[in-house]
Structure 1
Amino acid sequence: EDVILSAKFPDDLNWKKYWEQLTATYREACDIAANYGLTYQMHPALGVLASTTDAFLHFHDAVGRDNLRFNFDTANQYFLKDNLQLSLRRLKDYIDYIHISDNRGQQVEHLAIGDGIIRWDDFFETLDVIDFKGHFGIDIGGAESGVANLDSAYTQAAKFIQEKL
């Protein structure tokens, strides 16, 4: 957060021109990916341009490419105060990959499943409602998270996901 808060922009930054160049660059990246039958995944995180559901939908509309997708990250979105169930419903046509880890809502952290306060039953029920058929990536750990035993946390998360599916 300190890095984001201390960011300085050039005095001559022309936002409109920057936005046009940025979206053109993403259009080109998506077109290259499409030539190989791939998607381009946007990952939400604190300080990035498309960190929330609303921000991604706005950016997706500006880029205008069907293969621009949203890498749904449960911990990051929970910390950023996105309602996970509502976000899943709003983003259902743009999600085919989910990073899964828990969070307590107070800081960026990627905790073992059950060590945070995400309502997992509601989350997986919503995945059923939107008929999610994509992939999961276990995203536990990092210096900010203090997970003592990553092997155990990953094994337990994999079992948890299998049980929920």
Structure 2
Amino acid sequence: MSKEVQEKKYKRIITILSVVIPLAVAALFGIKLDVEPLSFLPPIYATINGITAVLLIFAVIAIKKGNRKTHERLNTLAIICSVLFLVMYVAYHMTSDSTTYGGEGIIKYVYYFILITHILLSIVVIPFVLLTLMRAKLEEFPKHKKIAKITFPLWLYVAVTGVIVYLMISPYYV
């Protein structure tokens, strides 16, 4: 299969996933399962977000040292962590009521700013991650490097702010 055909196939998949994932998550938020709440999940998925951030940082260090295989493995693990996070996050929200942030004053606005930017950028980062991965898989490394310079800070921000949001709201869990 030619590179052009592969790229077209990848881009179709990326477009579908970039639309379907956020829509599926939004739809699943509207479903409440009548089961025991999975209230133990938030610290686990927050930890996974933290691990994702660390993996991303080490992946950049690896590639700067010229270790492409380690870079690839670390990024693959970061993608796996992000998928695990998403599955646990949705499972938690399908079984538990949302927690309201209880802080007051300026910290409340800081919390909501971080939360809103985290949510919006978690949607935006999906096609960036997938396009960056596609460029690597197609061995288009100059294009991969160019988009990775955008993807890395976005993805890192989403991972780190996921932890911050958890730390800020955790005192208010029932």
Which has a greater percent of helix? Answer: 2
Would you say same fold, with TM above 0.5?
A: no
TM range (shorter): under 0.3
Task: Give the strand-richer structure, 1 or 2.
Answer: 1
